[in-house]
């Protein structure tokens, strides 16, 4: 398998079919073998039935359903563990990023192990933009990182990176930083970003910010206690 797309889904019934169509159009331009992995995080809007029909009709689509809503970190972790591709493209299920941009990210492989997208023209409200800017600045101050848009859902990984993650709740916000801690090379490049056409955002600015505030200190704790031993050749 050349590439896997990993897409966590929670109540995105109107975005699923156009998402698959756009990913297939993009992937067929440059990849011979690919898979599209949806992890359904306990949706209750009809996404379950749409995904089941889709996987029956499309052999490139794989679907995994959580028994109950378990959160985005859990959904990403499950997708990473199921992915078979040598490369893994992470996306959200809201169509706000463009799968065609995988080729922009691909230009930086194999020099880098993780290529993080940065939403160059973010199409969100002022409140979310401001919260994101403050959050990224605080996160970088505490962790010593320099990633400007860790919340961008479009990320490309080498397979060995996603298989090495030991995920905890909330850790999906720190994937580039955690990769750096493990010794992988990470870069960040601009990608496109669009308004949401269907459904509603699942994020609440202040609730999300409070959780991230706590998690950032846990990530710094990991950094300070990361094992970095080497055996003499």
Quote the mean pLDDT of the chain: 85
Where the chain has pLDDT below 70, the residues are 122-146, 148, 195-213, 217-221, 223, 227, 229
Model confidence, pTM: 0.81
98-112, pLDDT tens digit by residue? 999 999 999 999 899
> Given this model, what pLDDT does residue 126 score?
47
- β-bridge partners, 116: 155, 188
> Given this model, what pLDDT does residue 179 score?
92
120-138, pLDDT tens digit by residue? 775 555 455 555 555 665 5
- Which domains does the chain carry? 3-124+148-198 (3.90.550.10)
> Given this model, what pLDDT does residue 233 score?
80
């Amino acid at each position: 398998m050349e590439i896997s797309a990993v897409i966590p889904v929670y109540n995105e019934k109107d975005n699923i079919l156009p998402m698959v169509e756009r990913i297939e159009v993009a992937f067929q331009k440059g990849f011979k073998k690919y898979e599209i992995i949806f992890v359904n995080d306990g949706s209750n809007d009809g996404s379950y039935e749409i995904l089941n029909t889709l996987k029956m009709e499309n052999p490139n689509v794989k679907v995994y359903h959580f028994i109950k809503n378990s959160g985005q970190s859990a959904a990403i972790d499950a997708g990473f563990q199921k992915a078979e591709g040598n490369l893994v493209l992470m996306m959200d299920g809201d169509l706000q990023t463009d799968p065609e941009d995988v080729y922009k990210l691909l230009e930086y492989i194999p020099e880098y192990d993780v290529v993080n997208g940065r939403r160059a023209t973010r199409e969100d409200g002022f409140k979310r933009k401001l919260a994101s800017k403050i959050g990224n600045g605080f996160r970088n101050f505490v962790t010593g990182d320099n990633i400007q848009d860790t919340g961008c859902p479009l990320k490309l990984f080498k397979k060995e990176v996603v298989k090495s993650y030991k995920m905890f709740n909330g850790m999906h916000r720190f994937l580039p930083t955690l990769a750096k801690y493990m010794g992988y090379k990470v870069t960040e490049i601009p990608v496109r970003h669009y308004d949401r056409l269907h459904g509603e955002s699942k994020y609440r600015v202040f609730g999300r910010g409070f959780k991230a505030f706590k998690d950032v200190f846990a990530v710094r704790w990991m950094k300070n206690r990361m094992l970095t031993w080497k055996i003499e050749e």
